[in-house]
Structure 1
Amino acid sequence: DSVFLPLAALGGTPLLSFAVVLCGFGLFEAVRRFRIRRATNELPRLAAAATAAAVLVPVAAALASLPLVDDSAEDGTATVAAIQGNVPRLGLDFNSQRRAVLDNHAKRTEQLARDVKAGKVPQPDFVLWPENSSDLDPYRNADARIVIDDAAKAIGVPTVVGAVVEPDTGDLRNTLIQWDPDKGPVATYDKRHIQPFGEYMPMRSFVRIFSSDVDRVQRDFGPGKKVGVFDLAGTDVGLVTCYEAAFDDAVRDTVEHGAQLIAVPSNNATFGRSEMTYQQLAMSRVRAVEHSRAVVVPVTSGVSAVIRPDGTIVQKTRMFTPDALVDEVPLRSSLTPATRMGPLPEGVLSLLAVVGIGWVATRAVRARRTR
């Protein structure tokens, strides 16, 4: 919500973070210099100039970046629905209610279909379910497949379903499945950045010393390798599963592969009513500005949201409440400087940090030798 947000479109989250920290240190230094000035009546010009620059340059850069923030519909619009089916109970045990979670999302989709037929909401072009909306593998469980298929047929448009897929051998997969109402599953995306201590257990025998909860993860998940972009009714949708929203490359890859909007299917039920869900929603708002794309966030238990390319939230749900969001979102294909440069700003800032530390260390050594 701050003045610095447009910097995300210029240099991504590294530049945005750097600007916030630099301005904070500049404000601190301004207070410190003011106190020294009152005590000694001295204010070196170079110190005053550096302090002013630390505060003013990030703000000026952010204001100069405002033209990069654009939510116009370059490629037309798409009407998207995000389903929040809710979970029977919050906390780590929600997974024991896998069939109930699936049924909740199917029922809410079928309710949406009835609302569309009654003219209460517009017909969506496609529907997004959250991560873990079906922890029953629909390739192995015929009853789960039937439930998903009936819901997709009821709404009559492509539906993205978050499922746990259990291969015969190897690791589990946290998978998003593109479900066609006529053909069934037609494409998949396996989550690439999987969560340590949640989806896989590193150092299992060592961590068990501190908590037996490590054994809740009985079979580790494995990472996918391919970028996820689904063609949903003519719209290229980039897929970023939950935890992946924290990784610059995972989001940028989808846009570089043609995504016109970004979907972040998530499951925050494990975290209860903590601030985690709002933190993740804030990440998605920054990603929207960073890549100038609308972002749709379907979550099992909330908060689900529709975010414009300028970072504003136009619709959102309450936590632990079944709901469906339907909205017409702008589609875009142009690339921001942040998308084009990728990790370059982070590399430049890191290099500046190394140079700065080296300069300070050299001055300190010289001063000590002089004394």
Structure 2
Amino acid sequence: MLQRSFLAVLGGVLLTASFEPIAFAWLLPFGVASFALLTSGLSVRRSGVVGLVFGVAFYFSHIEWMRASIGPDAWLALSTVEALFYGLLGLAVPLLRRLPWWPVWLAAAWTTMETARSGWPFSGMPWGRLSFAAIDTPAAPAVAYVGMTGLSFLLALLGFLLARAVEDRSLPAVGALVGMGALVVVPAVFPWTVPETGKATVAVVQGNVPGPGNDILWDPRGVTQNHVDATVELAADVAAGNEPMPDFVLWPENSTAVDPFDDLPVSTGIQQAVQAIGVPVVVGGIVDDGPDHVLNQGIVWDPEAGAGDRYTKHHPVPYGEYIPFRDIWDPKFGQLALISRDMKSGTRTEPLRVAGVRVADAICFDVAYDDVMPPQVRDGAELLAVQTSNASFIFTHQIEQQFAITRLRAIEAGRWLTVASTNGRSGVIAPDGTVVATAPKLTTAVMVEEVGLASGLTPAMWLGPWPTRLFTGSTLAALVCGAIAYRRGREFAGPVEVPAKEPSDAC
């Protein structure tokens, strides 16, 4: 067990290396395969222990950025909870390996585990889904066909078929592995494209953050003023003919970290910017919702009508933007003491209407969840937009991890995507995941780009939540069948018979 646990640590670290910032995605099948190989032949309990060790090694290293940005207490707590899911998956391995074609059932179980931990407890944590490592690989175009969940399944199955080939060393096992590898990259040869139905010009503003750069609250009004100044300067460039007139302007999350409806200097600054450019500005604002709650919103600010259509963040971060069960436990220490009011969750699935364009909005971590952008696309969104405030993570690798997820969302939906961040990383992304424009971190920048609009659906958008339902149902059925087979196997083994001693002639 000690040797297996040591190798499980290596396997977890191997999987971490397939994601940003190392991004050696070719290591992913080997990391997944190690999970199956190291839990092979063990009892349920011991397999769970090895799975837990794997999960600890993977998740503690994968979100190590949280330790320096949010705090070691949050990093330890979240990583521990997420690692437990890999331990639970380890408990299932001896049951699923009793079934024919166990790599398929284990891949379904892995995908179901990812789904579960991405939504629970509280709002879960999607970071670390296998599909998120696929950007800039031949597997990435497959996300337009099967979605994030389906791609995770295919990558997990590829890893488990590799484990089976290592164990069996048979022609059928190797053939299945080769066939699966070919299947995963077929969409790269035949990528799904959604026809464009129109064009729009969007200005993405990265205003920058005053002071140390990693603290929005160091000077929240200064953040707003930076975005106002950048937009007013853009208006001057448009008037001089140096830039084309945008249809609308996108500001990031926390471009105003104080309520723009209650703070006169902030609202005056926003109105100044909107009037200068003469087109709607999608402002990212923290809005009061009574004495105990706030809302994190994308607000369409029109030069004539003022504040109008709004999107509210769906997935506030527990212990980052709200305190679960505050009525029972209200911490007053460390970073938690700064969360004086809880952020409420939004439920909107209808796209925003901005200058006649239907825009699917997502705020920060929302981009990693399957219940935010895809429903808006199915409801008619023609363009994707992400408003994010990554200032807290600006000196960590979280920036690149989130940007990779964002690029995959563009491919999945077959849509252009614009992302505005306070000080990095902002950009404009084509439907194939190509970064058309981006801005350096910790700088003020404005990107004005023409983007395509589309109304058709990729197969992934058409399938919606059905892959998740399919894998969850298959996993539950497989666990029942595997448990029966596991129990029968133990019964047939029977008690160990001890040979009777020969009678002795000795007195």
Q: Distance in 2 between matches of 1:21 and 1:244?
A: 24
- CA–CA distance in 1 between the matches of 2:490 and 2:224? 68
User: Residue type matched to 2:233 in 1?
Assistant: Q
Distance 1:92 1:278 in 2: 16
Cα 1:89–1:63 change in 2 (3 A) is farther
Once residues 149 and 64 of structure 1 are traced to their aligned partners in structure 2, the CA distance between those partners, rounded to angstroms, is 46
Structure 2 counterpart of 1:99, from 221, 224, 237: 221
* Residue 13 to residue 80, structure 1, CA distance change in 2 (3 Å): same
1:112-191 superposed matches below 5 A? 112-191=234-313
Is residue 11 of structure 1 aligned with residue 146 of structure 2? yes
Shift in alpha-carbon separation, 1:332–1:185, aligned structure 2, 3 A: same
For 1:147 and 1:346, locate their aligned partners in 2 and report how far apart those are by CA, in whole Å.
Answer: 45
Q: Distance in 1 between matches of 2:182 and 2:246?
A: 40
TM superposition shift of 1:52: 3.0
Deviation at 1:182, TM superposition (A): 2.2
User: Equivalents in 1 of 2:208, 2:194: separation in Å?
Assistant: 30
Structure showing greater radius of gyration is 2
Q: How many residues align?
A: 357
- Partners of 1:107 and 1:302 lie apart in 2 by 18
Indicate if the aligned counterparts of 1:69 and 1:310 stay in contact, CA closer than 8 A.
no
The two structures have a TM-score, normalised by structure 2, of 0.66
1:91, 1:271 within 8 Å by CA — same for their partners in 2?
Answer: no
The equivalent of 2:45 in structure 1 is none
1:148-179 alpha-carbon deviations (Å, 9 max, x no partner): 11111111111100011113455111111111
1:281 equivalent to 2:393? Answer no
* C-alpha distance in 1 between matches for 2:179 and 2:443: 44
Q: Could you say which residue in structure 2 is the equivalent of 1:352?
A: 474
**Per-residue deviation, 1:280:** 1.0
1:270 aligns with 2:392: yes
| Cα distance between partner residues in 1 of 2:370 and 2:267 | 34
TM-score by length of 1: 0.89
Asked if the contact 1:242–1:264 (Cα under 8 Å) also holds between the matched residues in 2, the reply is: yes
- In structure 2, the CA distance between the partners of 1:71 and 1:10, relative to structure 1 (3 Å rule), is closer
Which residue identity is paired with 1:100?
G
Of 179, 197, 204, 1:56 maps to: 179
Could you give the per-residue CA deviations for residues 76-129 of structure 1, whole angstroms, max 9, x where no partner exists? 111111100010135764313111000011111112112222222221111000
Query: In structure 1, what is the Cα distance between the partners aligned to 2:313 and 2:172?
Result: 48
| Alignment gaps of 5+ in structure 1 | 35-42
Following the alignment from structure 1 to structure 2, what is the Cα–Cα distance between the partners of residues 226 and 200?
19
- Deviations along 1:287-306, whole A, 9 cap, x unmatched? 11111111111000111011
RMSD: 2.2
Q: Percent sequence identity over matched residues?
A: 37
Question: How far apart, in 2, do the equivalents of 1:20 and 1:89 lie?
Answer: 43
Question: Which of 136, 146, 156 in structure 2 is aligned with 1:21?
Answer: 156
Amino acid at match of 2:147: G
Deviates most, 189-198 or 144-153: 189-198
- Aligned position for 1:208: 331
Equivalent in the alignment of 2:132: none
Q: Which structure: greater helix fraction?
A: 2
Deviations 1:261-302 (A, max 9, x none): 010100000112211111111111111111111111100011
Asked whether the 8 Å contact 2:217–2:257 carries over to 1, the reply is yes
Partner of 2:370: 248
Identify if the C-alpha distance between structure 1 residues 317 and 92 changes in structure 2 by more than 3 Å, giving closer, same or farther: closer
Q: State the partner residue of 2:192.
A: 69
Q: Do 2:216 and 2:257's aligned partners in 1 also have CA atoms closer than 8 Å?
A: no
Contact preservation (8 Å) 1:3, 1:59: no
Distance in 2 between the 1:240 and 1:351 partners? 29
62-71 vs 105-114, greater mean Cα deviation: 62-71
Q: Which of 431, 434, 445 in structure 2 is aligned with 1:323? A: 445
Measured after TM superposition, the shift of residue 230 of structure 1 is 2.2
Please tell me whether the aligned partners of residues 319 and 336 of structure 2 are also in contact (alpha carbons under 8 angstroms): yes
Q: Give the aligned partner of residue 231 of structure 1.
A: 353
- Conserved in 2, the CA contact under 8 Å of 1:191 and 1:223? yes
Cα distance between partner residues in 2 of 1:51 and 1:349: 24
Higher RCO by CA contacts (8 Å cutoff, separation 6 or greater): 1
Shift of residue 332 of structure 1? 0.5
Alpha-carbon distance in 2 for matches of 1:90, 1:67: 46
In structure 2, distance between residues paired with 1:93 and 1:233: 32
Q: Which amino acid letter does the alignment assign opposite residue 27 of structure 1?
A: L
- CA displacement 1:281-337 (0-9 Å, x = unmatched): 111111111111111110001110111111111111111111011111111000112
Q: Is the 2:193–2:458 contact (alpha carbons within 8 Å) kept by the matching residues of 1?
A: no
Mapped partners of 1:171, 1:81: distance in 2: 31
SS at match of 1:240: strand
Structure 2 residues without counterparts, runs of 5 or longer:
1-135, 494-507
Q: For the structure 1 residues 208 and 169, does the alpha-carbon distance in structure 2 shift closer, same or farther, using more than 3 Å as the test?
A: closer
